[in-house]
Chains A and B, each alone.
Chain A
Amino acid sequence: MSTIARLTRGRLVGGFLYFPSGPAGLLHFIAKIGIHQILPFDVGQNYAMDDCVIPLSLSIDLPEPPFIIDLITWNDSSSYEHSLTVGLFLDPFDRRKWQLKDAVNALADVKGYRKP
């Protein structure tokens, strides 16, 4: 099952995963941006815990759209449903990151200005 977290431009600085009491390791969680897995960092691994909170310390930039993180879960149990809580801390960027060439291009139409 995939839940889409729609964020905004900024930096993911941290978060947490809360596995309530009950899953007994049958509930699994990973997070992806596109096809790239960001949580856990090791590809092919997943979180599968019970009754605990996992703090996340991240430094992942989301500089360009789509500002989407796929939160993927699956349940090995065919008897019970399970749920978990995911928290993501995002430090938003004020504006789209400027580069020197953006300022140069912006001046291109100014009379007398000559692009290098």
Chain B
Amino acid sequence: MNYRLTQLLAEEAADTAATKTIDLNVSDPISEISIFFRGQNSSDTPLAHPAKMISKIEVVDGADVIISLSGMQAQALEFYHRSQPLGLKPMYTDDDWSRQQFNLCFGRYLFDPMFALDISKFKNPQLKITHNKALGGSTCDHGYLMVYAHCFDEKAATPEGFLMAKDIYSYALGNGTYEHIDLPLDMPYRMMLIRSLKATAAIWELFDQVKLSSDQDKHIIMDGNVEELMKLLCTKFGPYTETIQGRVGTGSVGHYITPTSNANVMAVSYGGTRDYYQVYQPWGGYVEFAGGAALSRVQAFVHGYAPHGALCIPFGDLADPTDWFDVTKVGSLKLRILSESGLTTADSCDIVVQQLRKYS
């Protein structure tokens, strides 16, 4: 068989918040790593999106950071990487499981022979997963963690590099202020995410304008309004769709969804009870449902954009590495972001960069 699915970590209990460290000692190149986390809800009141149960995913080789992302960043990056939703179903009902999957993609697609993580090129690579079941879902009282690796097996693969993704900068959004960020120049860029998340706010209500320029504005690569950029990206990546489940009565209950902008939510009853539902303000990854009668299970179909508040800037044809942005040839690369007015220091923005890292 050309490939195999290797279990790096058999499912184990993750009831206590901790950082799980897994030595990556697979002999064959790894195309993708899949992390599964599930938390069992103990109430019908959602606290946060279940992706928050994984606060950090890192692949490190000593002090060398290969992958460094939060759970939400990893999911947002994967959506833009694949141009399709993850197929997850956030559950917020008591005793049900909130299951989340986080994929680290080292190639352009699964089993990309050109790009994969070759463990033999590193000294002591480790996967570190920081989890806390209490941070997402509906007051989860049990959690489980499991990790798989999609590896090359009988098919010989000699990857020339891999896709590296890191959160390189985080800052508190000011009140209608500019932030100037110097970006790394060591490896070609495939895509960049600019991410900000605030309940009831679309991303263009958090940061208004984005400008990317090189060599002190000698070349202005892009300079635009975020709302317009978002609409341009819609045609390239398509919408993010998902289904969520909750339980509500006559009082409105807030739920958390993955799309944060231009989101449309349609709620229907699920199960034996016939009911109607009011949906209110599906913005910023937060939506409220209210039912017409006593507690009943609601299922909602969600359609929108900017998963987890992430705006993607792709650099060329994502399938053609020769078309990506070769920043090694520029003297400086600067990103300028203008925040919206009316924000506080509690509102933050982070920058994620996906780069091509070659082995030689």
User: Which A positions have Cβ atoms within 8 angstroms of B?
Assistant: 2, 4, 33-36, 38, 42-44, 59-61, 63-68, 70, 96, 101-102, 105
Contacts and interface: CB of A to CB of B under 8 A. Distances in A.
Interface in B3-42: 17-19
A59 B62 CA distance: 10
A35 to B, nearest CB: 4
A4 to B, nearest CB: 8
- Interface of chain A, helix or strand or loop or mixed? mixed
A34 B183 contact: no
B167 A34 contact: yes
A101 B166 CA distance: 24
Most buried by B among A4, A35, A61, A102: A35
Given A35-B350, A43-B19, A66 B181 contact: yes
B63 A60 contact: yes
Contacts, number: 59
Contacts of A64: 184-186
B172 interface: yes
Contacts of A65: 182-185
A9 to B, nearest CB: 11
What 10 pairs across the A-B complex have the smallest Cβ distances? A65-B182, A64-B184, A35-B167, A43-B19, A34-B167, A36-B68, A64-B186, A34-B168, A66-B182, A44-B19
Contacts of B329: 105
A43 B73 CA distance: 18
A42 B19 contact: yes
B345 to A, nearest CB: 9
A10 to B, nearest CB: 14
Nearest to B187: A64
A68 B19 contact: no
Contacts of A66: 168-169, 181-184
A34 B170 contact: yes
B56 A43 contact: yes
Interface string B286-304: 0000000000000000000
Contacts of B170: 34-35, 70
Contacts of A36: 58, 60, 65, 68, 166-167
Contacts of A38: 63
Given A34-B68, A66-B182, A61 B63 contact: yes
Interface of B: 17-19, 56, 58, 60, 63, 65, 68-70, 73, 128, 130, 166-172, 181-186, 328-329, 350
Given A42-B19, A60-B63, A70-B170, A35 B56 contact: yes
A34 B166 CA distance: 8
Contact of B186 (A42, A63, A105): A63
Nearest to B56: A35
A105 B328 CA distance: 10
A33 B65 CA distance: 10
A60 B17 CA distance: 27
11 contacts: A2-B172, A34-B68, A34-B170, A36-B167, A43-B19, A44-B17, A44-B19, A60-B63, A66-B181, A68-B169, A102-B328
Nearest to B168: A34
Given A34-B169, A64-B184, A66-B181, 5 more contacts: A2-B172, A33-B65, A35-B56, A43-B130, A61-B63
A25 B56 CA distance: 26
Nearest to B333: A65
A2 B170 CA distance: 11
Contacts of B181: 66
B277 to A, nearest CB: 37
A43 B185 contact: no
A70 B56 CA distance: 16
Nearest to A67: B182
A75 to B, nearest CB: 16
Contacts of B128: 43
A74 to B, nearest CB: 14
